[in-house]
Structure formats: C-alpha cells, structure tokens
Amino acid sequence: MRLIIFSFLGSVVFSLFFVQGVQAVSVTERAANNFRTAANNQEFTLNKNNVNPAQFGLLRTYDFNAKVETQPLVVENGAGGDDLVIITTMKNEVIGINARTNDTVYRVKLGPEVSSQDMDLWKHTPTWGISGTPIIDTSTNTLFVAAWVRKNANDNRFRDYRIFSLNPANGSQKSSSVRIFGQSQEGNGCWFNDSGAVFRANNQDHQYVYPKLRAGLALTGNNGLVLAFAANGEKFMGGRKNPHGFVVAYDTRGLLQQPGFSREPAIFCATSFNSWGAGIWHAGGSPVTEGDMIYVATSNGTSNNGAVDLAESMIKLRFTPGNAGARPLLQKVDYYKAFLDERTSGAGCLWSDNNSEVSCGRAAFNKAGSDWDFGAAGPLMVPGSSLLLQGTKDGIIYSLDKFNLGKNDRFNQLMSKPPLVSSYYGGDIAQNWDRVQHLNRSLPCPAVNNSDYGWFMPCGDPQNNRQHHIHALAFAQRDQSGGIVYVWGENANLKTYNFSTISGVLPAFRAEADELASLNLDSPGGMPGGLLMVSGRPSQTSNFPFAIDFGTAIIWAVYAKYGDSNKDFAEGQLVAYDATTILPGNKLKRLYRTGDDSRGGLGKMSKMIPPVVANGRVYVMIYRVGDNNNCTVPDNQQKVCSQLKVYGLK
C-alpha cells in the first residue's frame, strides 16, 4: 500500500514521497509504500493523546460472505466526500465500502472461485480466489487484481490465474483480463500454468496443482506490475511433484491494451525444473521495488552453491519492458543464500529419479529438509539507504546491502554483523540455538560479555524454550541516518531497536511490550505473532520525505492473544503503543487495547492482515467462524467468513 494524495475528482495528484502539510492520504498497496516500511507519516487525526479507551474504540463493522485474506485499501475521497475502502475476497469479489456510512458502493464478481478441497490443508479455507493484496496504480487510476478462477464454471478441475484491470471508483473493467501463462525466461524449463499437463486421480483427469498467489502485488518505477507466487506443495488430490516459486511481471501499458505494448508476462522461476520449492509468500507481504529493481525472499526448497536453485534466498531482479511489442524481461541481478547445508539431499527431499546434488533447505534430524523459510516475512528496504532487512523463521533479521547481496557469502556481506536477532534466539525445545548455529554454519556465536556484541545474545537456550518466527517488520524513520525497527515474533512480545544506516553502527535494543503472543500455545506454533503499522505526523526536524514525527508516532499491532491463526483460529487483539517513549525497565507505553474496551475484544484475527491506519480510522480484518446465518460455504466445509472492523474516535 502506497501512501499518496489521490482524488477521483479532476486530475490525479500523486507523489511517491509524502508531502508536508497534506491532511489526508490514500493507502494503495501493502505495507505503506514500495519500500514496505509499514509506516504512514501523514496521520493528522489520531495521536498519543486521543488514542485511549475513553476516546477511541470500535465504530462499525462490515460482514463478508467469504474469507478475506488481503489487506484493505483506502482511497481518500473515493466515495464522494468520504473515503472508499476496497476489500477483495476468496470468492473473487471486489467490494467498495463507504468508510463513513458503511454503505456498499459497489460489488463486482471477477469469476467463479476455486473449490479448495485439494488445497485446504487445515480444513478452514473452503474457496480460493483473490488471495494477494491488490494494488492501485495512481498514474493511470487502475486497480490491478489477480484472481484464481475456474476455466469452466461447472468444473473445478481446471483453473487459471487472471489479471484484472479495474476502475477503483466503481469496479468496472478498464480492459479485458489476461491469463497468466508462459515459460520462464531463465532457460530452466519451468512453465507457469502448463494447462496441457494433467494427472489421474480418482479415475478423473485433473490439472496439476499450481503455485498460489499469497504475496501482495507491487509496481516498479518503469510500468511493471509484479506478482510473486508460492510453490504449492499441498497435494491432497495429487499434483506436481516439483512445484516452483515464480516471479511474474507485466507491462501495465500492455494490460491496459495501449498500442505497441505486449500483454505477455516476464517470468522468473526460482529453481530449475528438476528441483523444487523456493516459493515466495512473504506472509502476504509484497515484494520491495525501487526503480526497475525487484527484491523477493524465497522459502524452503532445493538449493546448492550455484546460482540456479535459489531456495532460502534474497533475489534481486530487474524488470525491463519490451520494445515494439516484445515480451518484457525479468533478469536476475544478484542474490543472497542464507541457509546452505551442502549435499544433504536424500529420502523425502527429491523423487527417486532425480540425482541432483542439492539441499532441501535447512537440514533437520532424521530427515532431509525442514521448513525454515528465509522468506517468512516480506523484505523491508530502509528509504534513502542501501539497507535491506529480512525477517525469518529463525527469529533473525538479516541486514543486506542492496548493491551487493553477497551470493554464497553467508556472513561477511551482512551489513550488521552479527545480524539483528530481536533477543528471540532461535528454535524451540527440541532445537535450541546451538543446534541452529551448527546447521547454519553462517553466523558466529560471540560471547555475551563481548563489548562489541553485547546486544547480541543468541547462544544457549531459546527464550522461554519457544520458537519465534518473524512474519512482519515495521520501520519508523527518524531521518536519513536511521530510525526504529519494530518486530513481534511468534510466542514473543513486541520489541523495538534503534537502527542506523551508518556503516559500523550496530542496532541496539530499545524497549519491549508486556503482551505475549500465543500465550497458551506450546512451541512450535503460534502464528503469526504480531502484524504491525506505524502512524504519525511528518517530522518537524527532518526534511527527509519518509521521516516521522517521533512525538506523534504510534505503533499499531494485531496479534494472536491465544492460539494459532494458521492451523486453527487465534483469539486476536488490537493494541496501540506509544512508538517512541521508553518507560522504566525498557518498556513501551500502551495507549489502547481492545481487551480493555467495554465493547469487547477483537475476535478471531485474520492470519496475515496487518491493521491499516488512514485519516483517523484503523481498519482491522477478523474471521467469523461458524456463522450459519451470514456465511455461505460449500457443503461439508467449515463455515469461515470475514468481518471488517473500523476503529476511530468515538
């Protein structure tokens, strides 16, 4: 989500950078901007004085007849004089809502959704449709949405991903949709959506199970629309034995059918055809984009010391539009490979007819591969610097140089050495940090009393003997020299760190909150920890466009109070803290919590949707479970739909 100045009336006024003195913003993409800092420095209504239980609380709710897995978008003055909230659902609906009146402005169905009996691993996602957060291209006033649709409305066996170009004001199509299809340009034999390939299951032909779109959409600075796909390993009814992670990019001018521009996609495959994995899911976060560059983080799969199989990696790509109607190009520029356990392939890693010497990602006792997910969160780039941050399932935040990611040099190229470790240590009861160190072979284990690394305490047993996967980061920028990093891992509490862009200045622990995510759950488990957003006014001391006024900054979070929001449903909580004040004992000052509100708690939190703060309102998605009256799902499926909760000044 990009914070902009946007209007449907008259010409579109757009700025990538925040303009001082503007009183309202639009939220048009995931995590606040193309750098994914999850920060809005144009919030002029909510502040540290009025966000409290007496003045702030729940204003209204809006029910959906489907699950919502995407972040709300907000268009300032998009519904007449009121803000327009855009929500997309797993039933392929795009819904516009008046933020003040709660009226439905429009409701558009993009095609028949896919029944997910062959993908519903945890039995609570009955349909699959729009699952990646859409994006608004303000330069053309276009809402780009990717929907998974059945090719034939009456046949669930065959399905396509399609890109829709809509008018965000009313949901109407601006051009015909485009089917995502094609061969990777890496020369590694990968195809996206090879519809001619089928398999036999239950004496019926089925299309292979394809990559899932879970990451949000992104835009490059040179007319590229970027989509990143996870490798779908779920195959309850059979499926591809070698799923891959893909990056797919279109020229937006071609999508809008402007003459001379191709409607074919550029396609990058993160592993070779005879390897598998390296899916890009980012916990729903979008790729980082800067100019013509794209940064994505991959998850578990096959890897080696070469540059072909890029599981557990940060990958830098360049998008090049096609000339004279030619297909655009995605070119690999650089990469960083975090976990390398060379030559550990074996039973359960690859199928019997593949003899490649590859790793299945981080090794584990008694099996060849493990679900470590370097790409457990989306990347975050610190604006105005070369720093690229990545949160992982280790509970570690890796700091990389965007100009030299490091390839196979897993430690020396890190900008912060050792990397920021959030005091989460790593692992769980069965896998403590010492074992993680042995497997990774990339991080030192400095003594705690070492004055240079006194803040870095990874050695010994993990904190509370629980694991602390990271699924979200946020950054409050003080000025071009640095700011504050916020992180809330699984089974842990919110932590904050002073973070500098100056070379050689290490991060320093700042303060933490009291609340513990997934309080009652044994590790492993406890997804997702906390999902974050920062709000405040523009800085009064810095002219840097992304700088926020620390005197007004608030850190907002939705976290799993009890339970796990991935395998099951977690009781959620919305909480707001003073983002900068440090209380005695290095504690954060809490301003508001739904559990303290007389109107009740939050409800079942949505798995990977952060709160959205814009123009005096906070938008939070939750699940509605077992609602027989207002939640229609296929037979024999658990009734799970969603609800939008809108908070603000009473």
The tens digit of pLDDT for each residue in 453-496 reads 433 334 444 455 567 789 999 999 999 999 999 999 998 899 99
Mean pLDDT score of the chain, rounded to an integer?
83
Residues β-bridged to residue 147 = 162
> CA torsion sign, 177 to 178 to 180 to 186?
negative
The pLDDT-based confidence of 350 (bands split at 50, 70, 90) is low
- The DSSP line for 151-211 is EETTEEEEEEEEEEEE-TTT--EEEEEEE--EE-TTSS--EES-TT-EEEETTEEEEPP--
For residue range 611-633, what is the model confidence (pLDDT) as tens digits?
999 999 999 999 998 766 667 65
DSSP 463: G
Global pTM value: 0.90
Question: Exposed/middle/buried for 366, CB within 10 Å: 0-12, 13-18, 19+?
Answer: exposed
Alpha carbon 535 to its chain centroid, in Å, reads 19
| Residue type at position 506 | L
Of 11-20, 330-339, 562-571, least confident by mean pLDDT is 11-20
Of 69-73, 250-254, 423-427, 547-551, least confident by mean pLDDT is 423-427
Residues β-bridged to residue 313 = 337
The reported pLDDT for the residue numbered 347 is 55
- Beta strands 39-40 and 530-535, pairing class: parallel
Alpha-carbon distances of 46 from 27, 28, 253, 339, 461, rounded to whole Å: 16, 20, 38, 42, 41
**Which of 392, 479, 484, 468 is CA-nearest to residue 432?**
468
The reported pLDDT for the residue numbered 438 is 41
DSSP 36: -
Rounded to an integer, what distance in angstroms lies between the CA atom of residue 541 and that of residue 532? 25
Confidence check: pLDDT of 342 > 60: no
For residue range 503-513, what is the model confidence (pLDDT) as tens digits?
888 888 899 99
Give the mean model confidence (pLDDT) for residues 163-176.
98
The reported pLDDT for the residue numbered 381 is 98
Give the mean model confidence (pLDDT) for residues 94-119.
92
Rounded to an integer, what distance in angstroms lies between the CA atom of residue 109 and that of residue 95? 9
Exposed e or buried b per residue across 219-252, where buried means at least 16 C-beta atoms within 10 angstroms of its C-beta: bbebbbbbbbbbbbbebeeebbebbbbbbbbbbb
The reported pLDDT for the residue numbered 576 is 98
Helices (H) and strands (E) in the chain, counts: 2, 42
Are the C-beta atoms of 78 and 168 separated by less than 8 Å? yes
Give the mean model confidence (pLDDT) for residues 526-546.
96
Alpha-carbon distances of 369 from 104, 158, 365, 392, 436, rounded to whole Å: 48, 31, 9, 16, 14
Residue reference for tokens 């096959």: 302
Are the C-beta atoms of 100 and 60 separated by less than 8 Å? no
Cβ neighbours of 256 (radius 10 Å): 17
Domain boundaries, the chain: 3-649
Beta strands in 197-328 (DSSP E): 198-201, 204-207, 212-213, 218-219, 224-230, 246-251, 266-269, 288-290, 293-297, 313-320
Q: Which of 84-88, 190-194, 452-456 has the highest mean pLDDT?
A: 84-88
Are the C-beta atoms of 131 and 148 separated by less than 8 Å? yes
Rounded to an integer, what distance in angstroms lies between the CA atom of residue 178 and that of residue 137? 17
Are the C-beta atoms of 31 and 76 separated by less than 8 Å? no
The reported pLDDT for the residue numbered 626 is 75
Are the C-beta atoms of 515 and 559 separated by less than 8 Å? yes
User: Per the omega criterion (within 30 degrees of 0), is the bond before 528 cis?
Assistant: yes
Tally of CA atoms within 13 A in the half-sphere of 167 that contains its CB: 12
Q: What percent of the chain has pLDDT over 70?
A: 76
3-649: CATH topology is Methylamine Dehydrogenase; Chain H (2.130.10)
**Which of 472, 617, 514, 567 is CA-nearest to residue 76?**
617
Tokens encoding 601: 């708690």
- Torsions phi, psi of 453, nearest 5? -125, 35
Sheet holding 313-320, edge to edge: 288-290, 293-297, 313-320, 329-337
For residue range 20-46, what is the model confidence (pLDDT) as tens digits?
445 899 999 999 999 999 999 999 999
Residues β-bridged to residue 124 = none
DSSP 428: B
Are the C-beta atoms of 400 and 495 separated by less than 8 Å? no
Alpha carbon 635 to its chain centroid, in Å, reads 31
The pLDDT-based confidence of 202 (bands split at 50, 70, 90) is low
Give the mean model confidence (pLDDT) for residues 392-412.
87
Residues β-bridged to residue 295 = 288, 316
Are the C-beta atoms of 455 and 515 separated by less than 8 Å? no
Give the mean model confidence (pLDDT) for residues 229-246.
65
**Which of 473, 442, 247 is CA-nearest to residue 379?**
473
For residue range 351-362, what is the model confidence (pLDDT) as tens digits?
555 555 455 554
For residue range 301-319, what is the model confidence (pLDDT) as tens digits?
877 667 888 988 999 999 9
Cα end-to-end span (Å), the chain: 26
Residue reference for tokens 């991060």: 507
Which residues fall within 8 angstroms of residue 272, CB to CB, at 6 or more apart? 188, 189, 190, 308, 309
Are the C-beta atoms of 505 and 479 separated by less than 8 Å? no
Q: What percent of the chain has pLDDT over 90?
A: 57
Rounded to an integer, what distance in angstroms lies between the CA atom of residue 337 and that of residue 320? 24
Rounded to an integer, what distance in angstroms lies between the CA atom of residue 641 and that of residue 492? 28
**Which of 461, 433, 426, 486 is CA-nearest to residue 611?**
486
**Which of 10, 169, 13 is CA-nearest to residue 86?**
169
Tally of CA atoms within 13 A in the half-sphere of 382 that contains its CB: 28
Tokens encoding 522: 């044994």
Question: Which helix (H) or strand (E) is 56 found in, with range?
Answer: strand 56-64
Give the mean model confidence (pLDDT) for residues 143-150.
96
Tokens encoding 479: 């000025």
Give the mean model confidence (pLDDT) for residues 264-285.
91
**Which of 185, 277, 279, 261 is CA-nearest to residue 225?**
261
Give the mean model confidence (pLDDT) for residues 518-536.
87
Helix, strand, coil shares of the chain, percent, nearest 5, are 5, 40, 60
| Residue type at position 57 | G
